[in-house]
A and B are shown apart, each in its own frame.
Chain A
Amino acid sequence: QKEVEQDPGPLSVPEGAIVSLNCTYSNSAFQYFMWYRQYSRKGPELLMYTYSSGNKEDGRFTAQVDKSSKYISLFIRDSQPSDSATYLCATANSNSGYALNFGKGTSLLVTP
Chain B
Amino acid sequence: GAVVSQHPSRVICKSGTSVKIECRSLDFQATTMFWYRQFPKQSLMLMATSNEGSKATYEQGVEKDKFLINHASLTLSTLTVTSAHPEDSSFYICSARFQGENIQYFGAGTRLSVL
Interface residues of A (CB under 8 A from B): 8, 32, 34, 36, 41-46, 49, 51, 88, 92, 94, 97-100, 102-105
**A88-B41 CB under 8 A given contacts A97-B49, A98-B102:** no
Say yes or no: A46 contacts B103, CB within 8 Å.
yes
- In the complex, whether B67 has a CB less than 8 A from a CB of chain A is no
Measured CB to CB, the nearest residue on chain A to B110 is A43
Interface residues of B (CB under 8 A from A): 1, 4, 6, 32, 34, 41-44, 46, 49, 91, 93, 95, 97, 102-109, 111
Say yes or no: A88 contacts B102, CB within 8 Å.
no
The tally of CB-CB contacts under 8 A between chains A and B is 53
Closest chain B CB from A4 CB (angstroms)? 9
Say yes or no: B105 contacts A46, CB within 8 Å.
yes
Which of B4, B32, B43 is close to A88, meaning CB atoms less than 8 Å apart? B43
Which of A36, A43, A92, A97 is close to B109, meaning CB atoms less than 8 Å apart? A43
CA distance A46 to B49 in the complex (A): 19
Q: A36-B106, A97-B49, A99-B34 known; 4 other A-B pairs, CB under 8 Å?
A: A8-B41, A100-B104, A103-B43, A104-B42
